[in-house]
Amino acid sequence: MTAILPDKTDSRSEKILRSSATELARAIRHGELRSIEVVNAHLDRIAAVNPQLNAVVYDLAPSARAMAKEADAARERGADLGPLHGVPCTIKESFAMPETPFTSGLVARIGIRPSETATAVKRLVDAGAIPMGKTNVSELCMWMEGNNKVYGRTNNPYDPSRIVGGSSSGEGAIIGAGGSPFGLGSDIGGSIRMPAFFNGIFGHKPTGGLIPNSGQYPAAENNSARYCTTGPLARNAEDLALLVDIMRGPDGICEGAREMEFGDPSKVDLSKLRVLHVPDDGRNRVHAELRTAQNEVARALESLGAQVIEKRFPKLERSFEIWAAMLAADGGTTFRELMGEGKDGGFKLLPELFRYFLGVSDHTLPAVILAALEQVGESMEEKQRELVELGLELRRELSEELGEDGIMLYPSHPVPAPKHGVPLLFPFRWVYTGILNMMEIPATQVPLGLSKKGLPLGVQVAANHERDHLTIAAALFLEKRFGGWRPPPGS
């Protein structure tokens, strides 16, 4: 395994690169650190690792340095400081930011520069955050490999021969490599939690509708505006609640966003929780080290006094079919229509396959296959209705079992980060994350150390609707117990 090795850094820079956004904001506010120092430390780290990672695909270093200098000047003149004042971050490329790329990995969108700012981005910047760059995605944000024909492939900081997950691919990789304290992602099938898992960091998929999805491409429509969620990835658990709190609430644009409760994780009594320990979905076998790690999490919570119940939900065996049916039944713009942007006559499957195998297609193979699967699924309307009802039944079962005080332990993925290309051989393993999108429940990916091969381990912690604070409270405890994010070897 080849590790990403950084340039030599002094101990002050090393401390900056391991600190949470919350800690950095506090130090900047109190004059212990200057924003320009914090930003430069992270930009130097990005410069050291990005040539091998290909995580940051659009550089905002000049504007980041200018914003950092203004942040320091604002502090010196006694201005009001936001909760993220002077703290750097990264942003997924599929979020709109004026005069920056907005392709979502689609060749036909090269050259598009939005004039608007996505709501979540604006709220972070208004809170004082400083974007350092935009990060890579899978094509049209619909696959678990961070690869497209616009920017190429992103590599894992723990082993560059392995995937970083998708579609918030670059976010997972650059945060896992220590190049950013936190970043912004979106998730309709695990696109926050899988990159967080494969890169050893925290990622939170909020309750559907808690944070608006406005200003993203592709846009989430109809029920998908709740199935798709915007949320944070971070190297430290304490930042999750702060970031969710900053970004939450309707904006009058996203049709799925609404006002809802967001509790305080610090007030959660973990000893009073009911813990549903769900070892697998009954279909996709889970790696032994991940099973062991999840068992240890269950024991750790039980040691606090929490009631741990091993539980299985037979309907989880149908996770992929439920996910696909509920998404298809939602209507809206099809994946094929998105793929056909800029093409005369739109996307045509057989000609595109021919172009792909000739090596002249503008699309990746997973995107072409997904378009084909979508076409097949649309021909099974009666089966689709049955599966949607099955999904609604599963949603009711989970809600009843979780109640007000329950959390669920569930694998983030069946195996640690696979080699590049391997997901095409096992294309449905992402359903461990995807099914929770259709349930619209919150879930936090929590890192749990490294495997024998040095790859990140982890687990999802889920809870009932509007109980995000329970999953984040569990993440805070598990970070202390299991060590949280561990920088890649040599960093």
Please tell me the predicted confidence (pLDDT) of residue 371: 86
Q: How far apart are the first and last CA of the chain?
A: 15
Cα-Cα-Cα-Cα dihedral sign, residues 84, 87, 91, 95:
positive
Q: What is the CA radius of gyration of the chain?
A: 21
Summarised one tens digit per residue, pLDDT across range 298-356 is: 999 999 999 999 999 999 999 999 999 999 998 889 888 999 987 777 888 889 888 98
Summarised one tens digit per residue, pLDDT across range 158-206 is: 999 999 999 999 999 999 999 999 999 999 999 999 999 999 999 999 9
Residue 424 lies in a domain: yes
Please tell me the predicted confidence (pLDDT) of residue 1: 38
Please tell me the predicted confidence (pLDDT) of residue 10: 73
Q: Is residue 191 annotated as part of the catalytic site, yes or no?
A: yes
Report the candidate in 75, 45, 74 with the shortest Cα–Cα distance to residue 61: 45
Main-chain phi, psi angles of 376, to 5 degrees: -65, -45
Q: Is residue 361 annotated as part of the catalytic site, yes or no?
A: no
Residue 361 lies in a domain: no
The domain that holds 95 is classified in CATH as 3.90.1300.10
Please tell me the predicted confidence (pLDDT) of residue 5: 36
* Cα angle: 131, vertex 473, 297; to 5 degrees: 110
State yes or no: pLDDT of 2 exceeds 80: no
- In which domain, by residue range, is 261 found? 11-318+387-482
Cis peptide before 412 (omega within 30 of 0): no
CA gap 52, 307 in Å, rounded = 45
Give residue 376's pLDDT band: very low, low, confident or very high (50, 70, 90). Answer: low
Residue 427 lies in a domain: yes
> How many domains would you assign to the chain?
1
Please tell me the predicted confidence (pLDDT) of residue 310: 98
Residue 367 lies in a domain: no
Residue 333 lies in a domain: no
Of the candidates 19, 167, 180, 214, the residue annotated as catalytic is 167
Of the candidates 180, 186, 191, 491, the residue annotated as catalytic is 191
Residue 208 lies in a domain: yes
Summarised one tens digit per residue, pLDDT across range 224-270 is: 999 999 999 999 999 999 999 999 999 999 999 999 999 999 999 99
Report the candidate in 163, 257, 173, 146 with the shortest Cα–Cα distance to residue 210: 257
Report the candidate in 227, 259, 245, 237 with the shortest Cα–Cα distance to residue 124: 245
Give residue 372's pLDDT band: very low, low, confident or very high (50, 70, 90). Answer: confident
Please tell me the predicted confidence (pLDDT) of residue 378: 65
Residue 43 lies in a domain: yes
Please tell me the predicted confidence (pLDDT) of residue 382: 82
Q: Which of 123-132, 180-189, 368-377 has the lowest mean pLDDT?
A: 368-377
Residue 1 lies in a domain: no
Summarised one tens digit per residue, pLDDT across range 52-105 is: 999 999 999 999 999 999 999 999 999 999 999 999 999 999 999 999 999 999
**pLDDT above 70 as % of the chain:** 97
**pLDDT above 90 as % of the chain:** 89
Of the candidates 19, 92, 122, 224, the residue annotated as catalytic is 92
| Nearby residues of 477 by Cβ (< 8 Å), 6 or more positions away | 270, 300, 301, 304
State yes or no: pLDDT of 6 exceeds 90: no
CB 435 within 8 A of CB 395: no
